[in-house]
Structure 1
């Protein structure tokens, strides 16, 4: 991977279809992030669940199939269009910005699932305050975010402890796309949730799912792999 200047706003609109296609079957999303988020979410039957940064809706669909009453939002209108095709017009899907006030009332949700969205945001305090607001007291937040060691390994000469913006390129369905992230050290990740009024219930650094196709595994044993950090949190 290489680096360049930041991509334009609403970057996902430009490659929504390619991203959605890759997301449905690649290692990082289909066999790593979503299985662990579903495991941490537990039994969602009958729960009101908010899919934070829902993209084209693959996680929303799996939560829905498990009996959840799902709402979802994303900053990309193109992604929401794809999610409506997957989930149907009767599901509450909205274009909204996690860095702004969310278009939901107080204490609406039992569970919020934030899959690979927080690492795009510089200041976590406002979005975490909003997520706590829309969760019921005692509600849960399940998060997957970029593991801080990814930046440390990929940028060994950089300051690990500095809040740093960086961009990497990826091949998705034959298309090269650029993604921009904010790196923060592990202590800043944990402290952001604690300062926002969440209790950290679980921290997970899992291997890929057991049913991952062998050709997708980064190593023969499937365990020598780390990319995302997973947390289950409870709202006070």
Structure 2
């Protein structure tokens, strides 16, 4: 679908509805966030940057597990919501992942980037910045739209090309448009290597165990489903 540039990914306008929807839905609350937490493992005492923190649910969960959290988002509304969740003293900023980040070199043990990079056409500068702020050996734990998803939606889609696609969604009763960039798996891993990362894990996990009871109809007969793809990358 064709979307006016200023109408897509406008989290300042639909951020509150998006955040409310994602508190309890299957894809975010019972699939994506549990998978990110499982991949992060024991984070007690680790300094973690939440890149594209949204309203802060992942930051809150990691902080509960003992991590020292810092976060940023490109949307002022989402940062406002994150501050409501995490408190006025939380280290949160409005910043653009496509621009130089306001953090020193080697500042973090881990970076989490939850459903962020697929909004960007070019991953070169963002991955370089995330590598810069990580300590040597630090981890980038990230999720993106599964690269087979556009092909599942439209069998005519060209899996091997990098291209823009948009999706009109309803968040807690409010409509919004998300504009994404598809890239095949090899393009992702090539970008990771070029930025100085070693790909340690590629994961296609099942949802949280309790999801099968809460979403019995949606998950009937399925142990897992295609939605997101997860990576753990190590800064080398």
Indicate the TM-score class for this superposition, using the shorter chain for normalisation.
over 0.9
Counterpart for residue 4 of structure 1: 2
Counterpart for residue 65 of structure 1: 64
Structure 2 matches for 1:210-221, cutoff 5 A?
A: 210-212=209-211, 214-217=213-216, 218-221=218-221
Counterpart for residue 225 of structure 2: 225
Counterpart for residue 157 of structure 2: 158
Q: Which runs of 4+ in 1 moved over 6 A?
A: none
| TM-superposed deviation, 1:7 | 4.5
| 3-state SS of 1:39 partner | helix
Question: Conserved in 1, the CA contact under 8 Å of 2:205 and 2:224?
Answer: no
Hey, what's the Cα distance between the residues in 1 that align with 2:155 and 2:194?
A: 29
> Which structure 1 residue ranges, 5 or more long, are not aligned?
none
| 3-state SS of 2:206 partner | coil
| TM-superposed deviation, 1:189 | 1.1
Hey, what's the Cα distance between the residues in 2 that align with 1:6 and 1:119?
A: 18
Hey, what's the Cα distance between the residues in 1 that align with 2:80 and 2:115?
A: 19
Range moving further from structure 2, 111-120 or 158-167: 158-167
| TM-superposed deviation, 1:109 | 0.1
Question: Conserved in 2, the CA contact under 8 Å of 1:164 and 1:184?
Answer: yes
Counterpart for residue 27 of structure 1: 26
Counterpart for residue 103 of structure 2: 104
Question: Conserved in 2, the CA contact under 8 Å of 1:75 and 1:95?
Answer: yes
1:235 paired to 2:232:
no
TM-score by length of 1: 0.96
Counterpart for residue 206 of structure 1: 205
Structure 1's 23 and 183: CA in aligned 2 closer, same or farther, altered over 3 A?
same
Question: Conserved in 2, the CA contact under 8 Å of 1:50 and 1:113?
Answer: yes
Hey, what's the Cα distance between the residues in 1 that align with 2:221 and 2:47?
A: 38
CA RMSD of aligned residues (A): 1.3
Question: Conserved in 2, the CA contact under 8 Å of 1:197 and 1:235?
Answer: yes
Question: How far does the alpha carbon of each residue in 1:24-49 deviate from its partner, in whole angstroms, 9 at most, with x for none?
Answer: 11111101110010010011100000
Range moving further from structure 2, 86-95 or 6-15: 6-15
> Which structure 2 residue ranges, 5 or more long, are not aligned?
none
Hey, what's the Cα distance between the residues in 2 that align with 1:30 and 1:117?
A: 16
Hey, what's the Cα distance between the residues in 1 that align with 2:209 and 2:4?
A: 36
